[in-house]
């Protein structure tokens, strides 16, 4: 028998999730069934969608999320002992995993990272990177020379979107929430312009940074900032609606208001499309396409990566809250 620990979300969060909204449960894992394998977690991911989905899923539930681990015991010949895997088993130190058809709860072998750090499989070479890759390329359909705006630009997804946009020959403007992030985006990642949305006059800063208007907008935040950006878009502009973190801690029955979008959507014939990264899992699993390009771009120096590492299983909650508050630059992960 294996003793395991897991976080259970025990209620619908009110506003910012509290420590007592999670129970840390110790329990004994049942014996492996045919097809299952025992995974010991090494890296655990904290991402904005964990907050978002809390208002959509009835509590209590085991806190899900991506993690990287190594197979300790196996009743699945495809996953022998020692295999490194990515699962969606979440905030637990040991789990009995198995392959699944659920497009969200993906389980797969660690991609070939070509010597890059393992934790990138939760970031650029994981779900956030795939989100950036397909969400930007397939929904925004960027063309060289176009102007791209990305919000949450210093986050796990946004930082990759902006760099892919540069690779594709676009002018890239990022919005982020601190001067340090702004500096990282402009100096290290090669954004043409980064704007601290907490201190800048966004209207003015965007008008200066995007004198020819905005063609593509990769939206991680929603709300009033998105209304301002969308109001400056060009004819036939495309918006990939990926996240709305500005509203995640709001009461879902009383969502905030923002300047109406319809007059601009119509005048400029804009297309706004929401998506989940899971749409590129089925019917064909296209994630490996993204992994292959992303690994190459990192090795070429075209994509710069940064992980924001918190240490220790007992600190996952703090890492999660810090990420929701924007404390991370780059991908927030927890080393177990």
Q: What would you report as the CA-atom Rg of the chain, rounded to the nearest whole angstrom?
A: 20
Contact with a second copy (CB under 8 A) among 29, 105, 247, 309: 247
- Return d(Cα 224, Cα 90) in angstroms, integer: 32
CB of 274 to a second copy, least distance (A): 4
3-state secondary structure 33-97: CCCCEEEEEEEEECCHHHHHHHCCCCCCEECCECEEEEEEEECCCCCCCCCEEEECECCECEEEE
The yes or no reply on residue 242 touching a second copy (CB under 8 A) is yes
3-state secondary structure of 136: helix
Buried b (16+ CB within 10 A) or exposed e, 69-104: bbbeebebeebeeebbbbbbbbbbbbbbbbbeeeee
- Return d(Cα 282, Cα 101) in angstroms, integer: 9
Contact with a second copy (CB under 8 A) among 26, 58, 144, 262: 262
Stretch that binds a second copy, among 33-41, 183-191, 210-218, 239-247 (CB under 8 A): 239-247
- Sorted by sequence, the CB contacts under 8 Å of residue 300 that are 6+ apart come out as none
CB of 72 to a second copy, least distance (A): 36
Q: Which of positions 171-230 make contact with a second copy (CB under 8 A)? A: 219, 222-223, 226
The yes or no reply on residue 274 touching a second copy (CB under 8 A) is yes
- Give the pair of three-digit tokens for residue 104: 């969200």
Stretch that binds a second copy, among 72-80, 177-185, 244-252, 284-292 (CB under 8 A): 244-252
Contact with a second copy (CB under 8 A) among 59, 276, 285, 288: 276
Q: Which of positions 34-73 make contact with a second copy (CB under 8 A)? A: 52, 56
CB of 52 to a second copy, least distance (A): 7
- What string marks each residue from 279 to 318 as x (binds a second copy by CB under 8 A) or -? x---------------------------------------
| Bridge partner residues of 109 (DSSP) | 85
For residue 264, report the phi and psi dihedrals to the nearest 5 degrees. Answer: -75, -40
The yes or no reply on residue 109 touching a second copy (CB under 8 A) is no
- Return d(Cα 127, Cα 119) in angstroms, integer: 12
Nearer to a second copy, 19 or 257 (CB): 257
Stretch that binds a second copy, among 82-90, 125-133, 257-265, 286-294 (CB under 8 A): 257-265
The yes or no reply on residue 137 touching a second copy (CB under 8 A) is no
Contact with a second copy (CB under 8 A) among 265, 289, 302, 326: 265
Q: Locate tokens 């063309």: which residue?
A: 143
The yes or no reply on residue 255 touching a second copy (CB under 8 A) is yes
Cα 297-303-309 angle, rounded to 5 deg = 120
CB of 197 to a second copy, least distance (A): 16
| Bridge partner residues of 254 (DSSP) | none
Contact with a second copy (CB under 8 A) among 87, 147, 163, 244: 244
Nearer to a second copy, 85 or 323 (CB): 323
Best CA proximity match to 49, nearest among 284, 197, 244, 274: 244
The yes or no reply on residue 117 touching a second copy (CB under 8 A) is no
- Give the pair of three-digit tokens for residue 316: 């996952």
- Return d(Cα 46, Cα 52) in angstroms, integer: 12
By the criterion CB under 8 A, which residues form the site for a second copy?
52, 56, 219, 222-223, 226, 241-244, 246-247, 252, 255-276, 279
């Amino acid at each position: 028998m294996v003793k395991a620990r897991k976080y259970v979300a025990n209620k619908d969060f009110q506003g910012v999730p509290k420590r007592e909204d999670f129970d840390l449960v110790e329990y004994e894992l049942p014996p492996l069934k045919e097809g299952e394998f025992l995974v010991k977690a090494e890296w655990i991911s904290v991402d904005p969608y964990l907050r978002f989905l809390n208002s959509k899923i009835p509590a209590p539930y085991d806190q899900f999320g991506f993690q990287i681990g190594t197979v300790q015991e196996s009743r699945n010949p495809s996953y022998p002992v020692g295999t490194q895997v990515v699962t969606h088993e979440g905030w637990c130190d040991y789990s009995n995993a198995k392959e699944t058809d659920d497009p969200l709860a993906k389980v797969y072998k660690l991609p070939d990272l070509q010597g890059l750090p393992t934790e990138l499989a939760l970031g650029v070479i994981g779900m956030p990177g795939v989100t950036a890759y397909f969400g930007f390329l397939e929904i925004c359909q960027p063309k060289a020379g176009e102007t791209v705006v990305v919000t949450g630009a210093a986050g796990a997804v946004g930082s990759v979107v902006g760099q892919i946009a540069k690779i594709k020959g676009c002018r890239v403007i990022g919005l982020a929430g601190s001067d340090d992030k702004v500096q990282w985006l402009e100096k290290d990642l090669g954004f043409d312009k980064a704007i601290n949305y907490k201190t800048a006059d966004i209207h003015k800063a965007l008008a200066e940074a995007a004198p020819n208007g905005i063609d593509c907008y990769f939206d991680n935040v929603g709300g009033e900032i998105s209304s301002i950006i969308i109001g400056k878009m060009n004819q036939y502009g495309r918006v990939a609606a990926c996240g709305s973190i500005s509203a995640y801690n709001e009461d879902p029955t009383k969502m905030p208001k923002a300047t109406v979008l319809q007059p601009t959507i119509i005048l400029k014939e804009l297309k706004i499309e929401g998506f989940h990264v899971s749409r590129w899992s089925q019917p064909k699993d296209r994630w490996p396409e993204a992994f292959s390009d992303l690994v190459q771009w990192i090795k070429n120096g075209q994509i710069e990566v940064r992980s924001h590492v918190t240490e220790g299983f007992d600190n996952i909650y703090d890492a999660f809250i810090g990420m929701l508050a924007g404390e991370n630059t780059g991908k927030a992960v927890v080393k177990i």
